[in-house]
Amino acid sequence: MSLGSPDCMPKCHSVRHAEEVIAALTSGSEGSLQGFLSVHCHNAATLRDEFGRTALHLVASLGKCDLLQWLLDSKHADMLAKDKESGWTALHRSAFYGQIHCLMGLIKRGGALSIQDKEGLSALDLTMKDRPAHVVFRNTDPTEVYTWGSNTNFSLGHGNQESRHHPEIVDLFSRSRIYVKQVVLCKFHSVFLSQKGQVYTCGHGQGGRLGHGDEQTYLVPRMVEGLLSHHCSQIAAARDHTVVLTEEGYVYTFGLNTHHQLGLAPPPASSQVPKQVTSKSLKGRSVIGVAAGRFHTVLWTRDAVYTVGLNGGQLGYLLEPNGEKCVTVPRQVSALHHKDVTIAMAAASNGATVCVTEKGDVYLLTDYQCKKLASKQLNLKKVLVSGGSLDHRIDPQLLHDGGGEKLVILALDETGRVFCWRSMGTSVRQCRWAYGRQVFMSDIALSKNSMMFVTQDGEGFSGQWLGQYKKAVDKKGIEAISLTLNML
């Protein structure tokens, strides 16, 4: 068919012409193809075959950069055109097929890397996914620590007070070949746990929250010498104190004890070095996990949960009738102690505590109650909680009526699914994802204002809630809450 054919008009949409153009582009020199496209059809640059592919799609895939430039300059080809199968633009195809010179040519002409396909992937996302499908990472493998964000309180460990807008390696660990397996970042300090069971801290040391025996500010991570004789297995921290669990099942705390969150007896005003938490209720029991909120600390064994600190409703006990504001030593949460309950994990925020059993029951400790949020959420491997509200009557000078934050709970299971709950008025409701494609996560993180996720493909996302609750509720009563994910 040629321009002289009576059925080829300036706005030709012939599928047969499109198929002939697509077939021709797979062979021949770029110069001869320019001649062919010039005479074969009036509309050769914009015709689409049955799969929605244009000539620009094909030349971007094949790496024919000169022909690509000619289509853009002479034929005004549409860079935003998407195919039917995947919703790919020419940028997507050039990235997928490794034609970087074509990709750069499209970008220089104004091609947007942010355009997403049917799965919500940009051209850059496709290059991120071009890696081995199965990478096995062992806990003993070498690791490197990167931190970024506000560094006002020297919590990033870089040796100065400059904030970082992009991830930057913590030089002390890389230089000393110290491999870190857990990191906790707080407002005024940071805590690092090495694979060898050593604890490092940096930031502001007021109240002894760093555990170095003083209240100095440390710009780079320093080993907590008071824990050298122990192999530490887990760390937790909040604004003013730090909690450490050893492999033997012992718990050590240090920092401010304003709200008796250290669990030490007799209660000191603070502790600048690690001190072991002991109480009659813990005697002979091996602690397997620790968590910390600003006002309290959580410990748990296989069959019991213990809390200590300011009792604003998040400890799992009733309001003390004698007016006692604080629980000074760890006390067992009786509502979670019966023969059918085996504790798997727990998490704490400033205003709430969440516990998960091995049967997949999820409990929320708040408002002086123990509420079951979910049942049979099996194979959960991580749970996080943020926000919540405390009873302002406990300490009116510290807490305010109507204060606190929206309660958010995230849980991650072994298959990579994420479950969400969020407070709505006086109730807490499960949410479902409003995201364009199915993603499976390998890790999650939660802060006061945002969330972070790492997928099993190695992608990093930040997440934020969009607006208020939608009115739509499905048959199971699950709110349709919008959560937007942005690739890092």
The model's pLDDT over 266-286, given as tens digits with 9 standing for 90+, comes to: 999 999 999 999 988 898 899
pLDDT digits (tens, 9 = 90+) for 59-72: 888 888 988 888 88
Work out the number of other CB atoms within 10 angstroms of the CB of residue 321.
6
pLDDT at 484 > cutoff 60: no
Predicted confidence band at 396 (pLDDT cuts at 50, 70, 90)?
confident
Phi, psi (5° rounding) for residue 21? -65, -45
Q: Give residue-wise pLDDT tens across range 143-161.
A: 999 999 999 999 999 999 9
What are the pLDDT digits (tens) for 282-301?
Answer: 988 999 999 999 999 999 99
Peptide bond into 266 cis (omega under 30): yes
Domain boundaries, the chain: 15-129, 146-402
pLDDT for residue 372 is more than 50: yes
Please state, in angstroms and as integers, the Cα–Cα distance from residue 143 to each residue in 85, 202, 212, 349, following that order. Answer: 40, 19, 25, 28
Q: Is the domain covering 146-402 a CATH 3.40.47.10 domain?
A: no
Q: Is the pLDDT of residue 411 over 90?
A: yes
Per-chain mean pLDDT for the chain? 87
Rounded distance between C-alpha atoms, residue 83 and residue 77, angstroms: 14
Give the span between the Cα atoms of 419 and 432, in whole angstroms.
7
* 23-37, 268-282, 318-332, 468-482: which is most confident: 268-282
Q: How confident is the model at residue 4 (pLDDT cuts 50, 70, 90)?
A: very low
How confident is the model at residue 450, as a pLDDT? 83
User: How many angstroms separate the CA atoms of 21 and 38, rounded?
Assistant: 11
List, in sequence order, every residue forming a beta bridge with 271; answer none if it has no partner: 255
Q: CA dihedral defined by 49, 54, 55, 60, rounded to 10 degrees?
A: -130
Q: Facing residues of 487 across strands?
A: 461
Determine the Cα–Cα distance for residues 363 and 353; give it in Å rounded to an integer.
Answer: 8
Residue 2, pLDDT score: 47
pLDDT of residue 267: 95
Tell me how far apart the alpha carbons of residues 130 and 126 are, in angstroms, rounded to a whole number: 6
Per residue in 207-261, pLDDT (tens digit) is 999 999 999 999 999 999 999 999 999 999 999 999 999 999 999 999 999 999 9
For the segment 65-80, the average pLDDT, to the nearest whole number, is: 86
Contact call for residues 208 and 273 (beta carbons, < 8 A): yes
Query: Does 170 have pLDDT greater than 80?
Result: yes
pLDDT at 459: 76
Fill in the amino acid letter for 459: E
Which run of H or E residues covers position 19?
helix 15-25
- The pLDDT of residue 435: 66
Does the pLDDT at position 38 exceed 80?
Answer: no
| pLDDT > 90? residue 199 | yes
List the strands of the sheet with 199-203, edge to edge.
180-185, 189-194, 199-203, 218-223
Return phi, psi of residue 245, to 5°: -110, 135
Which distant-in-sequence residues (6+ apart) come within 8 Å of 112 by Cβ? 91
The CA distance from 37 to 48, in Å, is 14
- The architecture of the domain spanning 15-129 is Alpha Horseshoe (1.25)
Give residue 405's pLDDT band: very low, low, confident or very high (50, 70, 90).
confident
